Structure 1
Amino acid sequence: MSSVKQCRAGSHHWLMDTEILPDCGPAHFDIGFWHGNITGQSHGRGTTYFVSHQEHRLVLRHYRRGGLVGKLLDDQYFFTGLKNSRPFQEFRLLNWMHNQGLPVPRPVAAHVQRCGLIYRADLIQQQIENAQDLHQLLCQQSLSEQQWFDVGCAIASLHNLQIYHHDLNIHNLMMDSQNRIWLIDFDRCQRRSGSAWKAQNLARLKRSLSKERQTSPGYFWQEQEWHALQRGYQHSEHIK
């Protein structure tokens, strides 16, 4: 079980896993700190950096808004308390899920820099080694029935513990070199009671697959493959 410590220096507040980054400070959330240790990057709403630290491979992400609000506020969020801040919530949820053995990345550090009524934020987590997101894979090859079954099992493992994924789409599912399925990006996710939302969560994933098939020529996904995912989900749901 990871050891989490909360720290403060002026306007900076952060959580850190002392087993991985025992000397973590505000500088660690600036990509300039990692100069010479950057191993890659990916582009989405913003740039996500992959960095090395001793024997660890880490992912550094700066929080940015999407949609029309993002055009106005970019990386600014209204401050209503540290416990309500997006990185602190994501860190604590990931830490709990990791300790439960769920297929999610281990959180390493979360950072909030407050400026009056707003804050900016960052998250560092462990990189999932030798993994690709399923969208990238499906642009190149099809998945086997067993692999789709395993996707369903992975999603059910979260739902069985009442974890709602706010943005369950094909980009936020990954497969490593051992064919293990992982889920990523838990911003605005939460533990939620009840069960009605679970079918809606799955429907969101199916919509993302249908959308990618329409927009990506030669996309390796067929409607009937959804049944294998459902079987995996139902199998894991029954043995929870």
Structure 2
Amino acid sequence: MRIVILGASSLSISAARLFIERGHEVVIIERDEDKVKEYDEELDCSFVVGDGSRPSILKEVGPKNTDFLFCLTEVDQFNIIASLIGRNMGFGRVVTSIRDVEYETICSELGLESPIFLDTAISQRLSDMVEGIETAGLAGVLRGGLRFFTFSIGKEDAGPASELDLPDGVRAVAFSRNDTSGIVTEDTKLKKDDEMLVVGEEDRIRELREKYEEASSDDAEEDAGSKDSKEGG
């Protein structure tokens, strides 16, 4: 199989390694030349430096001769735009990675294949997809207003998973840490920076997302204040 990956994110590199191990031809499109230099010697694949949402760049990698286009940058909007252009240009199959559940409905209406997964789990899923081993994507199995959501564990949430402060109607499903992931059980101990996957009613998930967006904003302001204090001192 010939596979083109958009973006040299951690997810992209993880997936590329699996594809290469399984004997597939891989091309990575990345606009950051420093990232390309970083991975060029490490990975046995081709790189194209440029903006993957531009038709001229996508044309350069040969859409008609490509079996899969995986749009895996860390920006959902960028992935959606690139996927629409790529689909129109004739790539064999286009898969759009999204992190924010708000884009799930839009992707569905646009007819985009858009799984939402933990980074450490999705590379295996994508590799299975290329090999013809199909598993139900999260967006496909959600019915009745249920939604999935991923977020990072802060220092205040570290500890037993059973004590995680989640809204009623929301359940922890799985966690990701470094290069491993697992199902959440009563014995699971969470650590700072673990990535959590939860499922719940749409309104409750929205409430949880707002909570963590506010926490992320507060952390950024705190870091900026600390930096200013150090520079001022």
Relative to total residues, which structure has the larger strand share, 1 or 2? Answer: 1
Same topology, TM > 0.5: no
TM-score by length of 1: 0.25
TM-score by length of 2: 0.25
Relative to total residues, which structure has the larger helix share, 1 or 2? Answer: 2
